Structure 1
Amino acid sequence: MPANSPLDLLEPGALLAGALFRSMVTRVGLQASLPIGTRVGPFRILAEIGAGGMGVVYRAERADGQYQQFVAIKCVTGGDSVDALAQFRRERQILAEMRHPHIARLLDGGQLDDCRLWFAMELIDGARIDAHVRASVPSVAARIGLLRQVIDAVACAHQRLLLHRDIKPANVLIDADGSAKLLDFGIAALAGDQAAARAYTPDWASPEQISGGEIGPASDQFQLGLLLDALLRSPAQPADRARWIEMPTGRAAELRAIVTRATAPDPQQRYGSVQELDADLGRWLAARPVSAVGQSLEYTLRCAVRRHPLIAVASVTTALTIVALVIGFSWRLAQERDLARAQAERATREAANAAAVAHFLQDDLLALADPNTSQDVQLTVQTLLERARGTVDQRLAGQPEIAAQIHATLARSLRGLGDFEAANAEFELAESKSAALAADSPWRLELDLWHGDLDLARSLPREAYARLQRVADAAAGSLGSDSQLALEAAVRAQAARFELGEQQPAIDALTALLPRLDKTLGVDAPLSIYALNRLAIMLNTVERSADSERVRSEHLLRAARAYGADHSATLTGRLNRAVLLRKLGRLDEALVEALAAEDGLRRVFGANSVAVLHAMNARSRILQDSKRFDEAIALQRQTLAGRIALLGEQHDDVAYSHVNLGGMLMQTGDLDGAIDHYESALKIRESLLGPEHVDVITNLTLLADTERMRGELGAAERYAELAVERGRRVLAGDRVELATALFRYAQVLAAREQTEAARTNASEALGIYALTYPDEHPRLLAVRQLMAGLPASETQ
């Protein structure tokens, strides 16, 4: 083919993109433009709109006096044979009979004296669809609505065995009424026409068009998928991987799955028809499960919960908490797959389970939050879950396995709310209803895994470690040492071991697990990423800041690669890095990182969410260390108020805000205000965690120090003595929390002139600190300074 052939100028897929007219253009040179005023059939040429290889497009008006009408006329070369003209007339008739509100209609057509063919099309005065949505349509739903109009037009054409072959933004205009109009169907592009497939627009062509393979409706679907991707991006070119417009991460993932399926390289892997693509988009708009994602129980139930307008529940976090009820079910299904049970049997069981759980969520749990039936317009998450607990056994009588799952997921949600005793009661109910199952069955082991995690939160690290290690060993024996459940339990067991006081052995064991996780599950598997996060936290806790930063950097790299920069796991990792940078004294960097994480979490979860409040708390601590106390206190008060509104007074996050605010007030000299917040935190923690939790011991130590600074030495000694007594009983001998309690007790004793007792406690604190901190660490220096200021011993 010569380099300057008219074929080089073809507009692929334009109105006459068929093989018939390719052959015509091959034989004929470029055409001359029609002068303004030329009559074409009943029309008069007014102006040239545009030109391309397949012909010239003109604006024209009706000139036969019948009625006023403006049209777009396209002239193309060809029509110089009887057969070609007959084919043209047949195909013109097909297009003329195709009436659809979103297709630019063929109105007339004929042949000029020079054998050129002309078509009169509906004239659309409007903008390209991509330019229109960027300028005027911020809503994702509205953009998808416009695309569905285009899909409906393509579906209509496919029913008549017509293909378009060149769907792209330039061929979709938005008219004055805001309606999409699809232009330029190739009239020779009847389904099965192979020669027509050789024309295409490179950036918008399907793989089979490019390779010269078989062309069918799936090729138009491919281009519709690219168009969907373009409408959610700016700029619109599919090769430009610009970010999509902002939307919740989970919703974006569903749309990405739809785009991925519609644009699959293999036509057989795409949707069965463009109608199926349209149906999936309809399901997305209705917040129903989209087929491109799959039909897992977790995903199906999460969508079911999302559809309910929980406007009676106090906040967005309420809805998120309800969604969290169903997350645990995916574990059970994964383990059943590990057992390789028969596919048909598993599908039947899972379908029955999903139906039972969906009925419970729909008719019991979510109905409680329906403002049309509930009189409690201030219904809280806590109340909602408490009411739901009472309906489980009644609704699921005779289905103990499903009831056990519901009790377990309620337990996990209650644990997230900080109601550990209620969560423990639900776990015990789940275990009693699972008693008929073997102790090493996947479900029983998984239940123990969750219960072990709760034990850890309840300040029972010994029980947690024993339970989690048993799960790890049993799962390794029944499912294999590299099964998901065995590895998950092993990772969580080390977290419990760390809290038990075996910090270095836990760090060593988790470090040794990482290569196994990477090899078995992959470096970007969720559990591998989670384990890195836990290790970074452990290293930070034991003051191995450089090692922690190295692990944190790897964690962030993997999380961003696996989930994307805007995923909650990546953003939370960035927030944890900000905490680490604060500890390293790199406060400017920490503040930048914290702000970026907070903004991202706000986009993902909304402003009123636990994650955003956690980020605000971290940012306030950075401001505190930067000695920007007014800003830090104001932000922490905002965080405290948000947590109370979202979670209620009795929550551990609320206690943390009280403690942080107390510390800030103490630094600014407001000791009475500090005491008030420390006492509020102590009441919450003793109620939720029990009197011997490490956080309670730390709280007592803070109160002792503040009372000493106020000059209330009697109260200070009572708090310090209690902290040391409980610390000795429940903490390992090398825990820094115990050392801090001893040091504060020594300070109080020194102030009360009990020199020898002060020296004994300070000496013990110094020995513990020396096991963790370098010689010049501020805590070691503070203890040495206290000891140096004590009067000499009588025996010296």
Structure 2
Amino acid sequence: MQHPNDDLEPTEILATRLPGTTPAGGDPLGAGARLGRYRLQSLLGRGGMGEVYLAEQLEPVRRTVALKLLRLRRLEARHLAYFEVERQLLAQMRHPAIAQIYDAGATAEGFPFFAMEYIEGSPVTRFCDERRLPLRQRIELFIRICEGVQHAHQKGVIHRDLKPGNILVDEVDGRPLPKIIDFGIATAASRALDGSGHERAGTPAYMSPEQAGDDPAAVDTRSDVYSLGVVLYELLTGQRPGAAGETAGTSRQRQPLPSEKLAALPAEEAARVAVAQGGSVAGLRKLLRNELDWVVAKATRQERSERYASAAELVDDLRRFLHGQPVLAVPASRGYVWGKFFGRHRTALIAAGVMLAALLGGLTMSLYGLSQARMQRAVAEQRSDELEKVVAFQQSMLESLDMQTMGVRLAEALNRQAASLDPLASEGFGALLARADTTDLARELVDHSLLSSAEAAIERDFADDPQLASELRESVARVQAALGLSVKAANNFGQVADYRSGALGESDAATLRARQGQVFALLAAADLEQAQALLQRSLPQAASLPANDGVRVKLQLAQAQIAQAKGDRERSKTMREELLAALVGQFGERDPAAMEVLNELAGAQRVLGELDQSRANLERLLPMRSEVLGAEHEDTLATLGNLAILRMVTGEKEGAVALQRDLTAKQIARLGAEHPLSLHARGTLANMLTDSGRAEEALPLMQSVLEARMRVLGGEHPQTIRARLNLATNYARLHDYASALPLEEQVIESRSRLLGPTHPDTVSILINHAGTLHRAGRSADTLKMLNDLVPLARQVLGEKHPQTQASLLIRAEANMALGRSDAAIAAYTELFDMRQRVLGDEHLETITAAWNLVDAYNALGQPERAASWHQRYLAPLLAAAPSTLNEAQTNLVAAMREGRRPGKE
């Protein structure tokens, strides 16, 4: 059910820049002062970042708010846009345990402010102590707090300053109601104040080790889990883990566990803590030592990978404790598990003992039999549920396997083994292994050792239960599809669909789901004919499903994919457009199925070169997916990345960089800075910065990406080699050829060895290297390379390839630099003839080649020959009406009018 306040109020969608009202010197504002639509009533408190006021909002609604004015530093104009994005993200949060952000903006002096829900409450620790809440009620209250944190994390927001003072509790209808305040405010301010992240938000005593460190990129949702662990510690013991004033996250000594902290307290203080929780010191210590110690310890691990992965996992373990179930943080042992089982079922077990005694006495045989049957049925049902969870967990783990990384690790292990057995032969073995496809090797090992064994076990052990066998086979098929084993996946999906067709009918949703998996596996295996034949059978059956059912829509999209794969791109686009119109007309454009089709349509438009239309559709799609699916949903992030690239290729470089920064921050927050997806996002951002003329800014980012990929993937991984090449290109843009050339040589050596000297990627880097040598003033070395390289490029890449054409341009430029005018003109002419032949007379690249000749003839003092080329190829474009030119033509005309030299490779 939708909450009545789910829609943003008018104040939440306004960006404000208030007239100058902030006193100089940071003095508090007086009662009655106005900040835009707010009238201040009193000062509630001051802190390191600013003041909090009780205020009245005057329009468009009247209400009491808490207004936080942040005066640590002013926001400059260039930071306001990012600050606006961040506050919109904060306003998306809707949870009973989170104080609502109503409005945000900045004063004319640049000080940011937030207007938020006013909470009349006490810090959670004080509330619990004043009302003497028992241990169970404290944990129940803490669970509601964790649920609020988890909600924010799902919205892409990290608090970074969770502490009792930011968790206020009030009593509503006799029930404690927690409210988390300042959620993300410090983050929004610091990000806006300093894009480099140098502003560190947080309170030292509750700060995680990574947050207390020097790398802001290391902070993710697990930092909030750490802070929650410290708050729980304080709720249980009345004390924080470390000594007074100590930063918990940076302490080098092991922090005492809660039970140890309680034991170390003076007797009077320990008794006060225990009585406040409704028990004795010994009883509280026993509860803490047996289980809650483990929960707190896991939440506050120094290594974030060892903590609870999310606030939801912490909640799950605390609920287990409250329900008497085994706590996952406690090391498993039979005694512990059976002890918890006995604790949960004490009455039932005693009753069972009485019944057993009666059985032995011959009194209640039938009752015993009935109770045993019921018990067995309950155990069987519970076991079934557990097995389903295990299968789902194992399937998700297998689907997420990264075959490339596994292949690299396999190669590293083999190299280590070879070196230990025969150090002299290890180098040759390593070179030979580097030429093998370790990704395919890893995939083959997983397939042979795991998936094929699973298939055999299904055939052997579940032949008498075909329904269960089909469910297990479908799970194997999904893993096979995720790992790229498309033919095997199609076969297994087919067997599942055939069984369900006979048992349930061809139009049953479960049958059609398996058919959809079979169709997409066939498409991945490039078996278009069989995929199309299946679609012709399945689409009429899918008509019984709702029009926006995911399976039905995917089958319809598969039709469009087949048309595109067969080369009929216009028909493929038309099919997507028709499907989108039908879904939007019936369900609206925010329907998940409609959004999926819109995304597919944008992809089809991009393939057709309709970049403006593709971008416009992605601009529509991104806010819808963010709102409906969440800002961190994988579909939302995929749209964000695609839109950033399209903005880049359509010339809006600043907008592209801003989007890519957002994507990079989200991936780091979700996955950590060195996850492959995070590294890809960081590398793409660095490339965009370089292409935007900000090579200096991109340099440290490229260096860090290369270092991480070398450490995570190894020096020979294709992504590592690509990162090395990107860094070399960036150095060349900065005219630091002393750094660029050695990196390019490393890439040449790696690609020549791993791919072969005539591989297209090897030839491309050789051409890049020739161009860098020329720009470094080594034109003679450039020409020596190009003697063999130009014919090789024609043979391997073909004349249409931009790098083949670039090799001729580099040859011409190097000859010009050495004063070899005839050879230069010959190379320029050869380039023109090639482009005219493969691209046509009116193509922009052909005209640019003519401009190269005009420029060269003018430089050689031959204006009459330059005029001839100018009149034939440049003059028509210069004379054209501006309204008839596209963006690329307009840019070329502007360059020619400004007298800039034609672009050199």
The structure whose residues are more often helix, as a share, is: 2
TM-score scaled by length of structure 2 = 0.44
TM-score w.r.t. the length of structure 1 is: 0.49
Task: Identify the structure with bigger relative contact order (alpha carbons < 8 Å, sequence gap 6+).
Answer: 1
Structure of larger gyration radius: 1
